[in-house]
Structure 1
Amino acid sequence: MKKIHSVEEYIEENAHFSEALTILRAIINTTELEETIKWSAPVYALNNKNVIGLGAFKKHFGIWFFNGVFLKDKHQILVNAQEKKTKALRQMRFKSVKDIDKNIVLAYVKEAIKNQKLGKEIKPDRSKKETIVPTELKAVLVNDLKTSFDNLSAYKQREYCDYISSAKRETTKQTRLEKIKPMILKGIGLNDKYKNC
């Protein structure tokens, strides 16, 4: 993907929606939001906090609201791009210039600004997940193997536990246990060989 350095360049790169993006940009620029480029797309911030962004895709374009979950959405037009995964982000999608109602867009943008000023945002969950060691793995973790396993990072321990737990058959679990024992003793993670590619 080409690195974009300005909003004009972004609009030019998405020529199929250039008129629509220009209209949305003009609406947003009537507010106090600061226009920037982040992730090669237009982003509008308030006191260095991302509030909204503009996006153009193959068949639609729109505005994403970084903390859109807090918008009242009285017109029921916001979309959660990834249900169950996306917590805060919401999108206002359009297929053509005719779909843009300037008053509605401006009302949503102003509400997003107000919410940002009120400090409404979803903080990422930083709580640590507890690692549950499967019985089969627990049974082989003795002496040096236990010491090596305990010295692994929580993330690597979890990878091994999930690897054993996800096996359906007992024979598969045993095969996997034999495979991972030397890796644990060497202090390497299950997927380390893929991480340096």
Structure 2
Amino acid sequence: MTAQLRPTRSRRSPRALAAAAALLGAAFLAVAAASPAVAHDELLGSTPEPGQVLEAAPEAVELTFSNDVIATGTVIEVVDHHGEQVDVGATEVLGPDVSATLPGDLAGEYQVRWRVVSSDGHPIEGTIDFGVGAGATGVWESEPPHDAGSDSGSDDAATTGDDGGPGGWAIAAFVVGGLVILGLVIVLVVRTTRRRPPGAVAP
């Protein structure tokens, strides 16, 4: 009587499968968290420089970024210490360089407010304080507008920074999604190892 050979099934250790799933989940989280941080361009230099005090107004505000920026949506604005806009020229974009001409009669404290669209399509923005004249300090502080009372305008200070590319909510979503995927993989591995192979005969 010829003995019938049953096909053998390769079994992998549940610990090995769980470890592989954990490594995949960690790699997913690392890539998701790191990608937004390297996506945006950055400001490399400016004229005037932050906090600089000049004897006379520069001919233009000039910004240089780490990569070519997109002209659409890119703008340079300048405000005085009352928060009122200075009449600057049109914003010009040439590769990584962005500029706007300034009037020659500036005196006092001013703030450049720039917003550009970086090469990856994400908008970034920031501010640069500077001063013109002997009494200037190079530090812009918000004061009430010319046509407002002494109590108005105290909360008009401009904020600086990027924006950019994805904030804390986006990173949190990536982390939660990775943990959910990792949990599902571990559950499937455990349930598969506990399930008896089809056709097995109880001893």
TM-score calculated relative to the size of structure 2: 0.20
The structure richer in strand per residue is 2
- TM (normalized to structure 1)? 0.20
Q: Which has the larger radius of gyration?
A: 2
Q: Flag the structure with more relative contact order, 1 or 2, with Cα contacts below 8 A and sequence separation at least 6.
A: 2
Greater per-residue helix proportion? 1
